[in-house]
Every structure is written in C-alpha cells, then in structure tokens.
C-alpha cells in the first residue's frame, strides 16, 4: 500500500518570502509520479508541479520547485516570492507509473500568505 | 477544452434520501475517477472507469454507492439512503489516454446530509 504524509497542517509566509512544504511517502514501486496540487478556498484542485521518480533533476515551474530525495522518500515544495494568491490547501500526491492506480493524497497543508 | 464539469455544485438532502451527481470529463479523456474529500482531509479514492468499464472500487464504496459511465462519456455517482457521514465534497477527475497519471479535477459537488 502507498502512503503520503504531510506533517505540517498549517504554514504561513510573508508576502515575497520563500516557504517550503514537506511531504514524505512510502511505496514499494520503483516507477511512480509525485505531484503537488493546490486547492484554493471553494475552488477546484489544480496541478502545481509534477516529478517523475526516474528523473534525478528536480522539477521547477516558475516560482515553484521541488526537492525530490528518492532514497529518503521525501518530496518537498518550495514556493519563492510568495504571493497572496498562493494561499490555499496544498496536497502532495503519488501515483504509480502505470497510471492504473488512483492518486494517493496526503492530508494537506494549509498555507496562509501574510501581506 | 472546457475542463471537467460537475453538477450540481451543492446538494443539501435529508438523511435517507437518494442523491445523484454527474461528472462530465474533458473530451476524449478515457479515464474517469471519483474521490471523496471530507473536511480537513485529502481526497480519498472511490472508484474509476476506463471508458465504460468500472475497473476498481475502493472499500469506501459501500453498497449504498453506485457509479456508472454509460458509453464511456459522462459518469454518475448515486448514493442511496444517505447518512450524515456521507456529507463531503465529491470530486471527479479525468485523464487522457496513455497518461493515466495526469488527472484533471472538476470543481466538486458538496453534499450536506441533514
């Protein structure tokens, strides 16, 4: 069974500063994908960033980047130059490479951005 | 590409009533997933379809729950004899052929059972 753990229920960051959200996971598979999803209040979930497990290079998407440590089964999200619009629930998720299994989500981290 | 749509967006029902939700996936996405999200939790998998075939069901999907995807297009999720514990956000997601790991989510249907 796969598990995803987010140990920070809530985080806050000052506008324009940098924040890192933590995620650890467990899977017996060698090929898988990891994701960070953003869910703003009362709005739908959107994909922030994706990491393929077979890639050593950390994924980046504009102000969002990850620190993927495969041996440690760690997958953290760094948000640089935080903006008010970044305030949301952030979910870490895992799926096996086959795509024949559903996403397994963590419990989420609520990020507040302070002006 | 209009994205995944779900209807209704909100549903309030009395305990014991039946409810049905609809999900329209992104056009030509062959996989469709249903998740349930309770307050303060991440989404939990309920069931998924590849085309019209229901391939997997979670143990969370009790006998009161049924899902269909006729003709491999839209999907419906029905809950019979609703209970207060069914109150949650029901999320639908779809993924394209060959990229089952790329799931695009709809806005969800929030169910409140009184």
What share of chain B has pLDDT > 90, as a percent? 77
B104 CB neighbours in chain A (<8 A) are 47
Mean pLDDT, residues A2-24 taken together: 97
Q: What burial class does residue B92 get, using C-beta atoms within 10 Å of its C-beta: 0-12 exposed, 13-18 middle, 19+ buried?
A: buried
Whether B99 and A99 lie within 8 Å, measured CB to CB: yes
Contact in structure between B102 and B3 (CB atoms under 8 Å): no
Query: How many A/B residue pairs have CB atoms within 8 Å?
Result: 54
The C-alpha atoms of residue B69 and residue B23 are separated, in whole angstroms, by: 9
Chain B residues 76-95 with CB within 8 Å of chain A: 91, 93, 95
Whether B101 and A44 lie within 8 Å, measured CB to CB: no
A2, A6, A99: which to substitute to probe chain B, counting the most B Cβ within 10 Å? Answer: A99
Span B40-93, pLDDT tens digits = 899 999 999 999 999 888 988 889 999 999 988 999 999 999 999 999 999 999
The C-alpha atoms of residue B47 and residue B52 are separated, in whole angstroms, by: 12
The C-alpha atoms of residue A73 and residue A16 are separated, in whole angstroms, by: 29
φ, ψ (nearest 5 deg) of residue B84: -60, -30
B56 CB neighbours in chain A (<8 A) are 101-102
Q: Residue A86, SS3? A: helix
- Among chain B residues, CA nearest to A99: B100
Flag whether residue B25 sits within 8 Å of chain A, measured between CB atoms.
no
For residue B44, say if its preceding peptide bond is cis, omega within 30 degrees of 0: no
Local confidence band at A1 (pLDDT 50, 70, 90 cut-offs): confident
φ, ψ (nearest 5 deg) of residue A48: -95, -50
Is a pLDDT exceeding 60 seen at residue A47? yes
The C-alpha atoms of residue A98 and residue B98 are separated, in whole angstroms, by: 9
Whether B101 and A95 lie within 8 Å, measured CB to CB: yes
Q: Which range, of A90-99, B32-41, B45-54, B105-114, averages the lowest pLDDT?
A: A90-99
Model pLDDT, residue A41: 85
Whether B43 and A4 lie within 8 Å, measured CB to CB: no
Beta strands in chain B (DSSP E): 5-7, 10-13, 19-24, 31-37, 44-50, 53-57, 65-68, 75-79, 88-95, 104-105, 109-113
Is a pLDDT exceeding 80 seen at residue A101? no
Among B35, B105, B22, B28, which Cα is nearest to B69's? B22
- Higher local confidence (pLDDT), A42 or B88: B88
């Amino acid at each position: 069974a796969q598990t995803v753990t987010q140990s920070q229920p809530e985080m806050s960051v000052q506008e324009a500063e940098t924040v890192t959200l933590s995620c650890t996971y467990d899977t017996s598979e060698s090929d898988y994908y990891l994701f960070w999803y953003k869910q703003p209040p009362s709005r739908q979930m959107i994909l922030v960033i994706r990491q393929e497990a077979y890639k050593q290079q950390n994924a980046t998407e504009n102000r969002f980047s990850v620190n993927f440590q495969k041996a440690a089964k760690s997958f953290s999200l760094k948000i640089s130059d935080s903006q008010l619009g970044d305030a949301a629930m952030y979910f870490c998720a895992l799926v096996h490479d086959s795509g024949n299994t559903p996403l397994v989500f963590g419990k989420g981290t609520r990020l507040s951005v302070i002006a | 590409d209009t994205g995944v749509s779900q209807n209704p967006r909100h549903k309030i029902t009395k305990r014991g009533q039946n409810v049905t939700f609809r999900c329209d996936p992104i056009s030509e996405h062959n996989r469709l997933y249903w998740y349930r999200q309770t307050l303060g939790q991440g989404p939990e998998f309920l069931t998924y379809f590849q085309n019209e075939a229901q391939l997997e069901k979670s143990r969370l999907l009790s006998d009161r729950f049924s899902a269909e995807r006729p003709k491999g297009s839209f999907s419906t999720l029905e809950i019979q004899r609703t209970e207060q514990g069914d109150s949650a956000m029901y999320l639908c997601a779809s993924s394209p052929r060959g990229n089952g790991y790329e799931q695009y989510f709809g806005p969800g249907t929030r169910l409140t059972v009184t």
